[in-house]
Structure 1
Amino acid sequence: MKAIRRFTVRTVLPEPLQPLEELVLNLRWSWHPETLELFQSVDPELWEATRHDPMRLLGEVSAERLDALTGDRRFLRALGDAVEELREYVTAPRWYQGLSDVPAAIAYFSPEYGIAAALPQYSGGLGILAGDHLKTASDLGVPIIGVGLLYRHGYFSQSLSAEGWQQEHYPPIDPDGLPLTLLREQDGTAVRVSVGLPDGDRLNAQVWIAGVGRVPLLLLDSNVEENSPASRDVTDRLYGGGTDHRLLQEMLLGIGGVRAIRQFCRVTGHAAPEVFHTNEGHAGFLGLERIREYIDEQGLSFDEALEAARGGTVFTTHTPVPAGIDRFPRELIKKYFGTDNEASSVPSERILALGAETYEEGDPDVFNMAVMGMRLAQRVNGVSVLHGAVSREMFGGLWPGFDTDEVPIGSITNGVHAETWVAPEMVDLVRQQLTGVVEDGEGWDAVARVPEPEIWRIRRALRERLVLDARRRLRESWRQRGASDAELTWIDDVLDPDVLTFGFARRVPSYKRLTLMLRDQERLKSILLDPERPVQIIIAGKAHPADEGGKRLIQDIVRFTDDPAVRHRIVFLPDYDMALGQSLVQGCDVWMNNPLRPLEACGTSGMKAALNGGLNLSIRDGWWDEWSDGNNGWAIPSADRAADPDRRDDVEANALYELIEDHVAALFYDRATDGLPRRWLEMVKHTLTTLGPKVLAGRMLRDYVRDLYAPAAAAGRRLATDEHTAAKSLAAWKLRVAKLWPGVTVEHVESSGATQSPQLGGTLTVRATVELGGLEPSDVAVEVVYGRVGETDTLVDPSYVELTQVENIEGGRLRYAGEVTLDRAGAFGYSVRVVPKHDLFASRAEMGVVALPPAPTGMTNGDLR
């Protein structure tokens, strides 16, 4: 008989052991080796059986063992030291506390978080990045408050059928069995937040808190008695349900998340956030809640509230794939946002305008969450240099009239949290030679001092650990597929700790090309089975439950790995999670990645492998495009311009095979007389030296603080001064400029100073006659845009000089003039434009309007020497 309800009874620890609960409830244990060692010492066998989950460990450890530990003075001393060290860690000043003019707190919203395998609230890279962001914030003392949802069934657990087809399972998750505490009032009652629904109903949620070091992570949970059965299921599964269900999740995350922060700060006394960071568009509705707050609580108009909210908001886009963006029917938005449900002060027509795809080829019938997120944030970034460029192209229609390079979307390349992903043995080795490298990201040049035999010894140990873990997981998978133990003796010889090992793991959308390696199966077999230079590949990945195409790709790879001829050299391991990810990036020699360029936004797994002494073999996409230097791995040539997708796959697969055969394997097996692959180890050292300081999440978060959080806080403060005087003034100014802008024209442009043979270093005087249509000269910047021109007379990488008003002309027109230095040889050109100008702008393109001459005038194309 099945139970009708499931819950977790927490262990009551003996008084001397009660500090264990403090350690368990702070997820810092997930990246702190000393605390993990303490948990292991509670019961080593049970620690392995519970898959290193300290909550389960304490729930299952015997009373006799607990009694024994209460008398174990060595254990109690270690416990006391661990608790004291944790308390010092979460309270002592760190890097951030030495800065000035930074926000008192930052709210960070994400639909998923990968903190630890014991808290299964993530599906892939977005969540892992969010988890690393919070952990690094804790290490650096950045006062972030994380906000997400608590999914009662997480994402899904993956297994395989006998035929190799992905099967999904949604095991129930009891918050009482997780390292969480419930946010409560002083009298002990649970705090509630709610979001308005149509017909006067409310979606209610309680708030769980996960301690991520010194960072609180608030997780909203709709499974409360006040809700209807349908509303209780809103937070049932990550990325689950239909369109209405997904919209409700995102309303709860964004709107309910802001309300949860307000309650959390009220109850705990935590500083209120000055900056709100939206990690992808799922949480975009947080901007609407902040607008409502300004209207209802500060008496601002919608436009004034919009400016007040934008200044302190950061939006990060994570996908270069349009299909990865949430888009809802406009009618659905009208249903859930109107005068009778969520907020009468935030009209649905204004909300719809924020998410409207007003650009060419946009769909007028959809509401785009990323578009809304960008309109509600003054600062927007992608997650690698290439992704920033792709995003400017992808969303450029929101800023019509501006060149792609001027679209106000920057980039901060992702990083990874070393203490989570780097094997303790590698961390210890590096720290022995390079004090402060992992923590501070400095001094990596000294990697040259690390003895090569030590690197090779550790690499071999990590490879062996991965092999043993892969065998265990493979055996479990085959049992789930129906095989008996008697049929699985062959698994004892699967993989070899001394064979070149490739890791390949990811989500399985089609653009990541899980099966590119199968384009020529006979050639792949010959690579795997080479008698002198064999290769082995460990593969993992999940397809979205609704992605039948992705499931077919998994089945194709599984069928290949099931072949008795090669199954000892290539394996597919189901249920890809953080624990398996750690094993893979630590143990593999090469991390392989072959997406369709440029559809990989960043791809941080290769960073993790690099920090563990692995090398990368990848298409030049995401982070690898900017940091591959030819000596820290291998770049797979990309046939970007091939019109036929099959032809492209054939070309790139062939390049992959050639690199493995002629370069990667050849270098790995090229051994000196002492048995060491000297040239391989030189590449490993070079990888650590060049990538170490770049791929750390500490570098990433410092970039966020300096380039986005501090400027956003400064803008928000300025807009809020004197009862939001600046926000009110800016809103009125924008309305006036927008109304009069159609009358702004560039009537005439002329130049002087260029001869028939203009010389490099010479000057060109440009004059423009402009009609401002009722605007004041202080409202605009009249600029000459100049530089090299392409074959179609388009300016390439132009420069800008603001012209000076020199005279008023009859009829209200104005004349502007300025000089341009001819600073580059070759084809040279210029134009003139008028753009709105305000000292509260973060970008000249902020309003998305520009006035240009009606046709090219002035200097003709020619060679400037």
Structure 2
Amino acid sequence: MTKSNLPQAYRHPYEFAPQFRKSVAYFSMEFAIDQALKIYSGGLGFLAGSHMRSAFELKQNVIGIGMLWKYGYYDQTRKTDNAMDVLFREKIYGFLEDTGIKFTIEVHHTPVWVKAYYLDPKHFNTVPMFFLTTDIDENDWLARSISLRLYDSISSAKVAQCMILGLGGAKLLDELNYEPEVYHLNEAHAVSAAFHLYQKYGSADAVRKRMVFTTHTPEEAGNDKHDITQLNVMSFFGQVPLEKVREITGIDDNVFNHSLAALRLSRKANGVSKLHGEVSRHMWGSYSNIPEITHVTNAQNLRYWADPELENARKKSDVKAIAERKKSLKATLFKTVADQCGKLFDPNVLTIIWARRFAGYKRPDLLVQDHERFHQLMNNEKYPIQFIWAGKPYPSDEGATHTFNSLVYLSHLHKNMAVLTGYELALSKLLKDGSDVWLNTPVVTREASGTSGMTAAMNAGINFSTFDGWICEFAEHQKNAFIVPVVQPGLSPEERDASDRNHFFDQLENVILPMYYEKPDEWNALTLQSMNDVNGFFNSNRMATEYYEKMY
């Protein structure tokens, strides 16, 4: 008999909808819930935050379990020469409630105290959520430091963070005397929870009965791996002996692949787009004892992201109202451009935005690599254009930081180019509202899903993208988006980038700019079609429903 009720103080503020009564604990390393709660880095967090909002809207029996990062991810600031700087600043949240729950888990055979805080659904319209921290007086400095920075760059510290989320999150549920029917791991960070469940229930089958796994990583090399003996020394497997760990995970060498273990200890798994589901089945197909891998395409929460005036105009198919509201929203965004960059942008000029995590495969600087063609584009008097870049690299990713800074320095040469810092929920919302065109340049098959273009489309921004991730399920070229054709196989990375870059420029110069300035009726019709199509399928209420139907 499972204990299916949370303590009274933490219960959902609604009766569960009949189809969503099964109890689920959703584990994620990051959640982007509100600008005021800075415990996320990027897409994984944005996705998890929208999921928690939709679960609340749909009256689902879901709770969220995450980490309370004292310094968040980092604050993105500027040095004196405008290059990017990284600031770790203590965050204090008066709206989180101390549950009074404290317990220990072993890290490196040393007891580490873990404390739980509670986020009441009334604050941000989410399901009940719990956040774990080790930054308490009972711990020494090393133990306290585990929950300081999201995705610590030191390998052993990152492992310890995963242990607090997994082992600690599972133990928190025991402390609450709560046994959810489903443990949903959003990425493999919390896979150590499986070993707590193994200790508790005594068999791998009992773990699989309860656990499901969502993978967001489209490349085998991108999945976390550690030396299994190092993990054992760090007490990663709780009280489960190493021989038993090998037996239940099927890992007989010394490389512990976190995602592989999560797959083998789950009854079902999913990729995060149709294409990513296919990629994942191919990627893991040669391994034994892999469960069914389906897909649930990522989505974002319409109620949180969509501008109410734009949404109202969309429902009425009022393209004139959409166009007018769009100019007003651009003007609001451009105040931030002026504040950060000292440039006055024009709401009447086509504005293209590239904004997401800075990473090599996302190719933020793809267009500027052709200096001559980019210069001509930026100085086209017949069809003026404005470009904005924003996004956070991992703080220790020197290559991505260099790319960010090179764009900053290039922007000094163009009064119609801006690079913004502080890409968090609030700035993301401003950029989605203010984009005419949302530029997306990943190397094809490298983007598992991507979601930033969804929220841009909800706010009348047109996606201009390579054919990858969620775009494959959404885009119809020149009907609701502009798509760059997939390059022929066998090209070198340089040839592939050159081919993609030329296609982006050709479409910009020959299709997008002329349509925006000379065929506004066509542009407005395409915008409306994009808004209707994204809202039809890419609202996270559909996604949260599909998790119950396909996974739970």
Give TM-score, length-normalised by structure 2.
0.93
For 2:90, what is the secondary structure of its paired residue?
A: coil
Please tell me whether the aligned partners of residues 167 and 238 of structure 2 are also in contact (alpha carbons under 8 angstroms).
no
Q: Matches of residues 191-206 of structure 1 in structure 2 within 5 Å?
A: 191-199=101-109, 201-206=110-115
Q: Does residue 388 in structure 1 map to residue 388 in structure 2?
A: no
Q: Does residue 326 in structure 1 map to residue 173 in structure 2?
A: no
1:241 Cα shift?
A: 4.3
What is the number of residues matched between the two proteins? 538
Deviates more, 1:164-173 or 1:284-293: 164-173
For 2:17, what is the secondary structure of its paired residue?
A: helix
Other-structure match for 1:806? none
Please tell me whether the aligned partners of residues 154 and 173 of structure 1 are also in contact (alpha carbons under 8 angstroms).
yes
Deviates more, 1:366-375 or 1:160-169: 160-169
1:770-795 per-position Cα deviation (integer Å, ceiling 9, x unaligned): xxxxxxxxxxxxxxxxxxxxxxxxxx
1:198 Cα shift?
A: 3.9
Please tell me whether the aligned partners of residues 263 and 291 of structure 2 are also in contact (alpha carbons under 8 angstroms).
no
1:352 Cα shift?
A: 3.9
Other-structure match for 2:46? 128
User: Among 367, 380, 387, which residue is 2:256 paired with?
Assistant: 367
Other-structure match for 2:506? 658
Other-structure match for 1:141? 59
Q: Does residue 570 in structure 1 map to residue 417 in structure 2?
A: yes
Please tell me whether the aligned partners of residues 459 and 613 of structure 1 are also in contact (alpha carbons under 8 angstroms).
yes
Structure 2: gaps spanning 5 or more residues: 1-10
Give the Cα–Cα distance (whole angstroms) in 2 for the partners of residues 324 and 122 of structure 1. Answer: 19
1:119 Cα shift?
A: 0.4
Matched AA of 2:378: L
Matched AA of 2:106: G
1:323 Cα shift?
A: 4.5
Matched AA of 2:536: P
Give the Cα–Cα distance (whole angstroms) in 1 for the partners of residues 374 and 277 of structure 2. Answer: 35
1:424-479 per-position Cα deviation (integer Å, ceiling 9, x unaligned): 3223434xxx4xxxxxxxxxxxxxx42221111111111111112222233xxxxx
Q: Does residue 342 in structure 1 map to residue 265 in structure 2?
A: no
Other-structure match for 1:416? 300
Other-structure match for 1:797? none
1:129 Cα shift?
A: 0.5
Q: Does residue 605 in structure 1 map to residue 494 in structure 2?
A: no
C-alpha spacing 1:214/1:513, structure 2 compared with 1 (3 Å): closer
1:103 Cα shift?
A: 4.5
C-alpha spacing 1:353/1:508, structure 2 compared with 1 (3 Å): farther
Other-structure match for 2:157? 245
C-alpha spacing 1:573/1:512, structure 2 compared with 1 (3 Å): same
Matched AA of 2:545: R
For 1:91, what is the secondary structure of its paired residue?
A: coil
Other-structure match for 1:114? 32
For 1:686, what is the secondary structure of its paired residue?
A: helix
Please tell me whether the aligned partners of residues 195 and 238 of structure 2 are also in contact (alpha carbons under 8 angstroms).
no
Other-structure match for 1:53? none
1:700 Cα shift?
A: 0.7
Please tell me whether the aligned partners of residues 31 and 66 of structure 2 are also in contact (alpha carbons under 8 angstroms).
yes
C-alpha spacing 1:127/1:353, structure 2 compared with 1 (3 Å): farther
Other-structure match for 2:436? 589
Please tell me whether the aligned partners of residues 163 and 555 of structure 1 are also in contact (alpha carbons under 8 angstroms).
no
Give the Cα–Cα distance (whole angstroms) in 2 for the partners of residues 707 and 225 of structure 1. Answer: 43
Other-structure match for 1:180? 96
C-alpha spacing 1:310/1:282, structure 2 compared with 1 (3 Å): same
Give the Cα–Cα distance (whole angstroms) in 1 for the partners of residues 156 and 88 of structure 2. Answer: 21
Please tell me whether the aligned partners of residues 354 and 371 of structure 1 are also in contact (alpha carbons under 8 angstroms).
no
For 2:353, what is the secondary structure of its paired residue?
A: strand
1:555 Cα shift?
A: 1.7
C-alpha spacing 1:500/1:642, structure 2 compared with 1 (3 Å): farther
1:529 Cα shift?
A: 2.1
User: Among 277, 287, 291, which residue is 2:198 paired with?
Assistant: 291
Please tell me whether the aligned partners of residues 519 and 650 of structure 1 are also in contact (alpha carbons under 8 angstroms).
no
Matched AA of 2:516: F
Other-structure match for 1:315? 213
1:365 Cα shift?
A: 3.1
1:642 Cα shift?
A: 3.9
Larger Rg: 1
User: Among 162, 175, 181, which residue is 1:274 paired with?
Assistant: 181
Matched AA of 1:397: S
Please tell me whether the aligned partners of residues 542 and 575 of structure 1 are also in contact (alpha carbons under 8 angstroms).
yes
Give the Cα–Cα distance (whole angstroms) in 2 for the partners of residues 218 and 225 of structure 1. Answer: 20
Matched AA of 2:542: R
Give the Cα–Cα distance (whole angstroms) in 1 for the partners of residues 467 and 251 of structure 2. Answer: 31
Give the Cα–Cα distance (whole angstroms) in 2 for the partners of residues 157 and 196 of structure 1. Answer: 31
Matched AA of 1:207: A
Other-structure match for 1:524? 374
Give the Cα–Cα distance (whole angstroms) in 1 for the partners of residues 44 and 521 of structure 2. Answer: 37
Q: Matches of residues 672-821 of structure 1 in structure 2 within 5 Å?
A: 677-709=520-552
Matched AA of 1:234: I
Q: Matches of residues 428-507 of structure 1 in structure 2 within 5 Å?
A: 428-430=312-314, 434=315, 449-474=316-341, 491=342, 493-507=343-357
1:161 Cα shift?
A: 2.8
Other-structure match for 2:397? 547
Please tell me whether the aligned partners of residues 504 and 539 of structure 1 are also in contact (alpha carbons under 8 angstroms).
yes
1:370-393 per-position Cα deviation (integer Å, ceiling 9, x unaligned): 111101101000000111111112
Give the Cα–Cα distance (whole angstroms) in 2 for the partners of residues 541 and 214 of structure 1. Answer: 25
C-alpha spacing 1:197/1:613, structure 2 compared with 1 (3 Å): closer
Aligned identity (percent) is 30
Q: Matches of residues 77-116 of structure 1 in structure 2 within 5 Å?
A: 91-93=13-15, 97-99=17-19, 102-116=20-34
User: Among 148, 158, 161, which residue is 1:236 paired with?
Assistant: 148
For 1:409, what is the secondary structure of its paired residue?
A: strand
Matched AA of 1:342: G
C-alpha spacing 1:210/1:532, structure 2 compared with 1 (3 Å): same
1:643 Cα shift?
A: 2.9
1:300-326 per-position Cα deviation (integer Å, ceiling 9, x unaligned): xxxxx2101102211000111344322
Structure 1: gaps spanning 5 or more residues: 1-88, 184-189, 296-304, 359-363, 401-405, 435-448, 475-490, 672-676, 710-865
1:516-570 per-position Cα deviation (integer Å, ceiling 9, x unaligned): 011212211221221121111110011112211111111221121121xx1x211
Matched AA of 2:170: V
Q: Matches of residues 45-56 of structure 1 in structure 2 within 5 Å?
A: none
For 1:194, what is the secondary structure of its paired residue?
A: strand
Please tell me whether the aligned partners of residues 106 and 277 of structure 1 are also in contact (alpha carbons under 8 angstroms).
yes
Give the Cα–Cα distance (whole angstroms) in 2 for the partners of residues 198 and 465 of structure 1. Answer: 51
Q: Does residue 351 in structure 1 map to residue 218 in structure 2?
A: no
Please tell me whether the aligned partners of residues 484 and 503 of structure 2 are also in contact (alpha carbons under 8 angstroms).
yes
Give the Cα–Cα distance (whole angstroms) in 1 for the partners of residues 334 and 197 of structure 2. Answer: 51
Give TM-score, length-normalised by structure 1.
0.60
For 2:405, what is the secondary structure of its paired residue?
A: helix
